[in-house]
């Protein structure tokens, strides 16, 4: 690997311990490159979600450090981390977490407007383009409660993509979906990695779906026990 270009995202010996003494993640190290589609698997309670939150700058490690595009994030303030999340990262959770009072389009517009790089009309065009790419053009004006589960999750993915992030972090994104919709979500992720060069990190306990990723990280008791690339 060329040292001149740092990894997109890198964890160096990170450990996350709760004040009560419980260790969620133990001495985990990994590098994430552009275009990688990574599945993080492991039994429940193995710390896969905790690892994802640490990599997603939602949580801070008690030991070790996380580097985003070569930049050490340990010294950054909470507000600076928030701005990094806004501009460079996209999140998808098990629950869609769409704001119920706002239409699908407005939900996708929230991060774009918060970042404030695009004018109103350009922001709307961008949001509509994302929804169209996910086959959600017709649902743009609808409220989340008027959508099916699969559509909601696709809307959440559109929102995660709103600011053209380098990395998508998904925590059990298919946990509430049927097999068909779950497969569709993984198709989207595969496409985002392969065609758009984004790094995708997905926490899942579904072994079948995990096989579709091109790299699999397996956790047991907070430790990375295997890190394999699909050939």
Partner 1 sequence: MSLIFDLARGMLSRRRRQTLVSVMGVALGVAFFIAIASLMRGFQTYFIEQVIDVQPHIIVKDETRRPLPQAVEIAHPEGAVALSGVKPTERVRGIRNAAEKIAILEGIPGVFSSPILTGQALLRYGSRDVSVSITGIEPARYRRVSNLEKDLFQGRMEDLRSTANGLIIGIGLAQKLGVVLGDSIIAVSPKGVSLQMKIVGIFRTGLTTLDNQAGYTLLKVNQILQDRPNVVNQILLRLDDVTGAEPLARQIEARFGDRSESWEEQNRNVLTVFVIQNAIMYSVTGAILLVAAFGIYNIISTVVFEKTRDIAILKSLGFTEGDIQWLFLLQGMIAGLLGAVLGCVLGQIMIEGLAQIRFQTETPAGNDRFLLAHDWRIFAVASFFAILAASIAAVVPARRAARLDPVQTIRGAA
Kindly report the length of the chain.
231
Nearest CB to partner 1, comparing residues 10 and 171: 171
Binding flag, residue 177, partner 1 (CB under 8 A)? no
200 touches 193 (CB < 8 A): yes
Cα–Cα distance for residue pair 229/38, rounded to 1 Å: 9
> Comparing C-alpha atoms, which of 140, 153, 142 is closest to residue 109?
140
Residues 114-143 that bind partner 1 (CB under 8 A): 114-115
Distance CA 25, CA 46 (A): 8
Per CB under 8 A, which of residues 90..109 are in contact with partner 1? 91, 93-95, 97, 99-102, 106
Whole-angstrom distance, CA of residue 9 vs CA of residue 13: 13
Under the binding rule (CB under 8 A), the answer on residue 216 touching partner 1 is no
Contacts of 211 (CB under 8 A, 6+ apart): 230
Nearest to partner 1 of 99, 194 (CB atom):
99
**Closer residue to partner 1 (CB): 34 or 113:** 113
Which residues, numbered 39-78, are part of the site for partner 1 (CB under 8 A)?
A: 49, 53, 56, 58-59, 78
User: Which residue ranges make up the site for partner 1 (CB under 8 A)?
Assistant: 49, 53, 56, 58-59, 78-79, 82-87, 89, 91, 93-95, 97, 99-102, 106, 110-111, 113-115, 159, 171-172, 175
């Amino acid at each position: 690997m060329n040292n001149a270009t740092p990894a997109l995202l890198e964890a160096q010996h990170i450990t996350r311990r709760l004040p009560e003494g419980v260790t969620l993640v133990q001495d985990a190290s990994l590098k994430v490159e552009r275009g990688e589609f990574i599945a993080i698997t492991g039994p429940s309670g193995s710390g896969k979600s905790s690892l994802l939150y640490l990599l997603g700058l939602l949580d801070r490690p008690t030991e070790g450090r996380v580097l985003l595009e070569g930049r050490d994030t340990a010294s950054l303030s909470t507000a600076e981390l928030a701005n990094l999340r806004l501009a460079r990262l996209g999140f998808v959770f098990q629950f869609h977490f769409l704001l119920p009072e706002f239409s699908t389009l407005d939900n996708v517009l929230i991060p774009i407007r918060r970042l404030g790089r695009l004018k109103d009309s350009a922001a709307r065009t961008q949001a509509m383009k994302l929804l169209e790419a996910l086959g959600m053009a017709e649902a743009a004006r609808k409220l989340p409660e008027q959508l099916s589960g699969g559509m909601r999750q696709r809307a959440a993915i559109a929102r995660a993509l709103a600011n053209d992030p380098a990395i998508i972090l998904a925590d059990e994104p298919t946990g509430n979906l049927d097999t068909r919709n779950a497969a569709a979500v993984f198709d989207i992720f595969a496409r985002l990695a392969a065609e758009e060069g984004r790094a995708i990190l997905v926490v899942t306990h579904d072994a079948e779906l995990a096989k579709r990723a091109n790299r699999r990280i397996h956790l047991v008791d907070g430790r990375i026990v295997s890190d394999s690339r699909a050939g």
